[in-house]
A and B are shown apart, each in its own frame.
Chain A
Amino acid sequence: MAAPAAGPVRAVPAAGPVRAVPLLDRDGADGAPRTTVRIDADERVFPGHYPGFPIFPGVCVVELVHRSALATAPAPGARVTLRAVESTRFLSPVFPGDRLTVELKWTRREGHWRCEAVAATDRGRAATVRLRFTEGSTPC
């Protein structure tokens, strides 16, 4: 897998709800691929989610898992596109200043790829996420 060993992972798309870019911590050569990212207090979503009580939205945890998946996709070179959020369980809240680690497992299924991830803060598991990707970028 040709993913860079470390350093900021230029995950596409640049825009999107979260500014933070997951850094590739372990590229899967020696154990499950893992990324880490710090949730800064100046993330765009916090002023509105919620005023006076910033909580990192659950879907933004899914977004960081999504970006981590794109950065560790097993189909070298081929772009993979998110087709479904098969299941996501939100286990504990994520707050400004938290460091989120995402550990991923890719498996080949008939006609698509499944990415199972566990996102955790220092306080423990924040969410489990199971995503479905297909190769190529054309919408089905």
Chain B
Amino acid sequence: MLTTTGIKRVLPHRYPMLLVDRVTELVPEERLTALKAVTCNEPWYEGLAEDADDEGHGYPQTLLVESWCQAAGVLAAWDKPNPDVLSGQVMLFGSISDVVLHRPVYPGDVLEHRVRLVRALSDTVIFEGEALVGGETVMEVGRVVMAMRPAAELTAAREQSPAAQPAGVQ
């Protein structure tokens, strides 16, 4: 069992992009179950039109994927925690495949993410699983591939981005 503080020791994600609240089961190198409560007070609902209907309050689908992947990230990195992305190895998304969205998720739902390790290779991990609400599958995840890469690779890439150029700095 990991509380939010435990998750923060493993993942570099912080508010408002820390989308895993609690880990309820963790079998190293095998599987993990984690919870994320959805509330109408999340920043993603700021600016939603006042006349938005129930469906308009559906949790952003891409963040359902992100939340599940962060749960997978805990399983991938729990024994080599690196909450600081600037040093050592960083876990990068490689790919996401066959994610099926069965039904919308609404404020008040609690997501139960089930993550299974499909394959762990020297520097690559592959996961699969699903997300449930009230025991009903709301999303299936066919395959997520994560690769461990040296942080330097990321910082080098950033040097060429507009934000890093002196002229480009806002």
- Tell me if chains A and B make direct contact, with any CB pair below 8 A: yes
List residues of A whose CB falls within 8 A of some B CB. Answer: 13-17, 19, 41, 44-45, 47-55, 57-60, 62-63, 66, 82-90, 92-93, 95-99, 121-123, 137, 139-140
Binary flags per residue of B56-95, CB closer than 8 Å to A gives 1, else 0 = 1000111101100100000000000000011000001111
Q: CA–CA, A55 to B159, complex, Å?
A: 12
Contact between A50 and B62, CB atoms less than 8 A apart? no
**Known pairs A17-B63, A66-B61; A85 contacts B47 (CB<8 A):** no
| Total inter-chain residue pairs, C-beta < 8 Å | 140
Contact between A48 and B48, CB atoms less than 8 A apart? no
What is the CB-to-nearest-CB distance from A41 to chain B, in angstroms, rounded to a whole number? Answer: 6
Contact between A83 and B101, CB atoms less than 8 A apart? yes
Contact between B97 and A87, CB atoms less than 8 A apart? yes
Q: CA–CA, A92 to B149, complex, Å?
A: 12
Q: CA–CA, A59 to B70, complex, Å?
A: 11
What is the CB-to-nearest-CB distance from A58 to chain B, in angstroms, rounded to a whole number? Answer: 4
Is B119 close to A, CB under 8 A?
no
Q: Which residues of A contact B94 (CB under 8 A)?
A: 89-90
What is the CB-to-nearest-CB distance from B1 to chain A, in angstroms, rounded to a whole number? Answer: 23
Is B100 close to A, CB under 8 A?
yes
Contact between A13 and B14, CB atoms less than 8 A apart? no
B65 nearest CB neighbor, chain A only: A59
Is B2 close to A, CB under 8 A?
no
B61 nearest CB neighbor, chain A only: A82
Q: Which residues of B contact A123 (CB under 8 A)?
A: 157, 160-161
